[in-house]
Structure 1
Amino acid sequence: MPQPQEPQRHWPKFQTRKPRVLLLTSQYFLLGEVRAACERLDVDHVLLDLQAKEMGLDDFVRTILGALTTFRPDFVLTVNHLGVDREGVLLQILEALDVPLASWFVDNPHLILPAYPRTHADKTLLFTWDAENVESLREMGYPNTAWLPLAADTHRFAPGAAGNDAWNADVSFVGNSMTAKVTGRFQAAQPSDALAEQLRDIAAGFGPSEEPSAARYMLNNFPHLREEFLALGEPSRMLAFETLITWQSTLDYRLDCVRRLLPFAPLLVGDKGWHDLLAGETGWRHHPEVSYYDDLPGLYPRSKVNFNCTSLQMKGAVNQRVFDVPACGGFLITDQRRQMEQLFEPGTEVIAYADPEEIPELVQRWLADPQARQRVAESARKRILAEHTYDHRLETLFQTMRLTFEPGANS
């Protein structure tokens, strides 16, 4: 691997009040919000798109070294480790140049990180949307971890966006059916007959459990499957089976919740898998998937009640809809998450159900009270503008990186 010339190996970090940040992009939607927040905060940054073209190892190394030694950032920032290669070349370069890495996980890091080497772990800070991942990430060998929940892009998700009459509904749910994800992970895992036969039982138990790790839940509660699981052999197949449990559990949970919406003739916005799951059911409408950026800001306000049921890859955190819906003036009913009360005031800024059995009564109650819906939506938006924008999150991330890696910051 080409090495940087000796005079370029190191440079002082965190010498200015605002950091210099090298952003890695891998076509993930959140990097747009991060970049826009950097611009609003007047933070000097460079965006390096590592997937703009296919490149060999030598070109990859030259591209990374060129960006680092020319721009000389205080740290590199990515989302979900995207742009970090699984062979560890980027991490070796960062270690050689003593450049810290910030990786903000907005999906379950335990379903992602096992595929990467732990090179440069002492100079890596993992931010996670789920506070309950912090200690387990430290146990994985990442000493620097912090909670950084999701947020809203209030410049894009704002009241007044254009809509479509086809989106008008009393109740709507924008979400994936999970059918394709389940199929994809099943094919990747290639489970044995014994694992496949008990998949639904494992998923049914994992969903309501307090255990955040699907693999750990299975090994603790289905010990007779341990050897079958270990016999998958390749780490990629084992990780695929753990993800499969999570997606199957989410599918079953979402289907249970959505079925409780059927008396209200809901609009389901998502993939065609909903037709398979609700075959034979009547009284609901389907709309194909829409653009997150172009359509959702105008779609959410056209439902009297926007419904949410969170993916079970996150047992304690709140997902993106909890921020986006009220940011553009919509009203939301969501499932109770353990970290919700640290972000919103229950009953006045967020309306939540603790059990799917509560859904019909809760929906009926709030459909009947438009003034109350408006009060909750306005209160939630006010809280978001005050505390939960991407500008707020980036300011927290920058401060945490400085306190962790600036020489003498903790002395």
Structure 2
Amino acid sequence: MNPVPRPRYQTIIDEIGMKKSMPTSKEQFEWYVNDGPEDCPIVFLGLGPEPDKIPKWFGLSDTDTLYFVECQDFVDQTDNNWNGAIPDNFTRIAADVFTAEIAANSHVIRYLPVQRAFPSFYGPLTARLLLCKSSFPAPSKIVWLPITEDDLLGKELGIAFEEAGYTVKFIDHEALGKHPGAVLPELLEDGTPNLFFSINFKGIDHFGLCSHILHEAGVQVAVWMVDNPFNVLPTVKSDYWKNIKLFVTDHSFIGPLIETGARWVTHLPLAASPHFFENTGQLPDHAHGIEDALVFVGRSAFPDKEKFFAGISVNPALLTTIHEADEAHRFDYLWWREQMKDVQLWPGNQVRQIGAGTELTSSRWKSDCLHAAGDITIFGDDGWKILENADVRPVVDYYAHLPAIYRTAPVTLNVTGMQLPAGLTQRHFDVWCAGGFLISDTNPGLQIFPKELVEQVTYTHPNEIRDLFLRYREETETKRNLRQAWRECILHDHTYRNRVDTILTALNL
């Protein structure tokens, strides 16, 4: 028995340079039936590759009033017969003619494959259609955070925005990311925010319909890329991200993002939350006996690292270069990018080759520093047990236990990963806020602090760590004064309330 051949579809190149098939059948269309007069106009958002079949599929006659909007990038890729196949009673209209009023008083039919191929063109039209009959209030002092309070920075941002006079609403980012067209119109009826503030694009679907709907409703959309932007962007499948407001924790990514097409990027470092770290926390049972210890808190690898970099190998020649170099050399993300100039930063996943190399040298740097530190107490996962000099203890609760650990230990060690060449960690802020004392490796991100404070607590080579710990292990007047100066600096200029003020000013809110 001969297998049934698979149908051959027209293929096109979509807005981000990827090949997409354009299947043709009635099932590829979605019909929005207007509840007004039966004879209201019919508007097609995309006709698909065989427009001559549409009248039969939808029971249309040659006397019906029919209009269509088509993306020119699609038209330019059709064959010579496409225009001739459009029935005579179909009239093409420009995208800006498809207003909310037209959408509200027409039957609208969407050809879905082309919507996914050119979401920057069709997304605003779909948003107009979805909201054309909605009744929602004008934007007010509300901020939507598409995270839960227990997610990364959820509690901190929630409190900081409330302190700035905003009502905060936490949004289910998973439901929103999967079904923005169904979820958002209903949410907007309960109150329209001034700002939708996403962490690492959480809550925004891959094709950006969420951002188009919010824009149609008059809501500002901003994304704070807390992690390496080019480890986050592979999930984005549309150009929409280039037009929204982007914040980055690491200023060294501003240039590369603009080179890749971003139109608005500004620096927003991490910060401290006095609400959770100033005079709070309690030592867990497994944290006793650290009064004379050098302490490190952190994971040996980020979750699902192997899955994230699955199938990616690192150039052996680059590995040889790294192994022969001095331990103090920072083989960070920008170094790896320089070695892989031909790798496209976006779109696609090939950029993860740069991230994989960076993660390898990041792990090496952390291991070298922790090994050179001498006797050290680590609160983290079992991956650290390969270090013979480490007393590895179980992880601790970030809010309930960490402030007390920082406050009790004479010195806390920070080792900054290589994924963010000029990025800072929460330790740079939390330790001082909690009343602890931090020593850290040098990196360009520390420029946001006074130079005279930074120089006294930083190292450039792993072999300097032990001497720096011994210098500050005992409580002295010099140490007390330095700790107080750092604490005042953090509480005055580097809290999440400071960061929220930066956000609101930058967005003219």
Deviating more after overlay: 294-303 vs 157-166: 157-166
Deviating runs (4+, > 6 A) in structure 1? none
Specify whether residues 55 and 141 from structure 1 end up closer, same or farther in structure 2 by C-alpha distance, changes over 3 A only: closer
SS across alignment from 1:155: helix
- Partner Cα separation in structure 2 for residue 323 and residue 56 of structure 1: 32
Alignment root-mean-square deviation, CA: 3.1
Aligned to 1:223: none
Contact 2:271 2:426 in 1 (8 A): yes
Question: Structure 2 counterpart of 1:363, which letter?
Answer: F
1:150-202 Cα deviation digits (max 9, x unpaired): 1101111013532146423220111121286553344x2x135xx46457447
1:199-248 Cα deviation digits (max 9, x unpaired): 7447667993576446523325xxxxx6xx79xxx933x24433222221
Counterpart check, 1:71 vs 2:172? no
Aligned to 1:275: 385
Aligned to 1:331: 437
Counterpart check, 1:235 vs 2:348? yes
Aligned to 2:265: 145
- Quick one: which of 357, 361, 365 aligns to 1:253? 365
SS across alignment from 2:193: coil
What percentage of aligned pairs have identical amino acids? 25
Q: TM-score, normalised by structure 1?
A: 0.81
- Partner Cα separation in structure 2 for residue 12 and residue 124 of structure 1: 20
Contact 1:349 1:377 in 2 (8 A): no
- Partner Cα separation in structure 1 for residue 450 and residue 434 of structure 2: 16
Aligned to 1:402: 508
Specify whether residues 146 and 348 from structure 1 end up closer, same or farther in structure 2 by C-alpha distance, changes over 3 A only: closer
Counterpart check, 1:81 vs 2:201? yes
- Tell me how many residue pairs correspond in the alignment: 376
- Partner Cα separation in structure 1 for residue 328 and residue 186 of structure 2: 46
Shift in Å at residue 387 of structure 1? 1.0
Can you give the 5+ residue segments of structure 1 that lack an aligned partner in the other structure? 221-225, 404-411
Name which structure has the greater RCO, CA cutoff 8 Å, separation 6+. Answer: 1
Q: TM-score, normalised by structure 2?
A: 0.66
- Partner Cα separation in structure 2 for residue 288 and residue 211 of structure 1: 29
- Quick one: which of 411, 416, 419 aligns to 1:305? 411
- Quick one: which of 106, 113, 134 aligns to 2:226? 106
Aligned to 1:48: 171
Q: Which has the higher helix share?
A: 1
SS across alignment from 2:489: helix
- Partner Cα separation in structure 2 for residue 171 and residue 22 of structure 1: 40
Contact 1:349 1:376 in 2 (8 A): no
Specify whether residues 398 and 87 from structure 1 end up closer, same or farther in structure 2 by C-alpha distance, changes over 3 A only: same
Question: Structure 2 counterpart of 1:177, which letter?
Answer: S
Deviating more after overlay: 24-33 vs 166-175: 24-33
- Quick one: which of 467, 474, 482 aligns to 1:376? 482
Contact 2:332 2:362 in 1 (8 A): no
Aligned to 1:30: 153
Shift in Å at residue 96 of structure 1? 3.7
Question: Structure 2 counterpart of 1:97, which letter?
Answer: A
- Partner Cα separation in structure 1 for residue 242 and residue 218 of structure 2: 10
Aligned to 1:343: 449
Counterpart check, 1:219 vs 2:329? no
Can you give the 5+ residue segments of structure 2 that lack an aligned partner in the other structure? 1-125
Specify whether residues 401 and 79 from structure 1 end up closer, same or farther in structure 2 by C-alpha distance, changes over 3 A only: same
- Quick one: which of 211, 216, 221 aligns to 1:91? 211
Aligned to 2:471: 365
- Partner Cα separation in structure 2 for residue 71 and residue 349 of structure 1: 49
Shift in Å at residue 144 of structure 1? 1.0
SS across alignment from 2:415: coil
Larger-gyration structure (1/2): 2
**1:6-21 alignment, distance < 5 Å:** 6=132, 8=134, 19-21=141-143
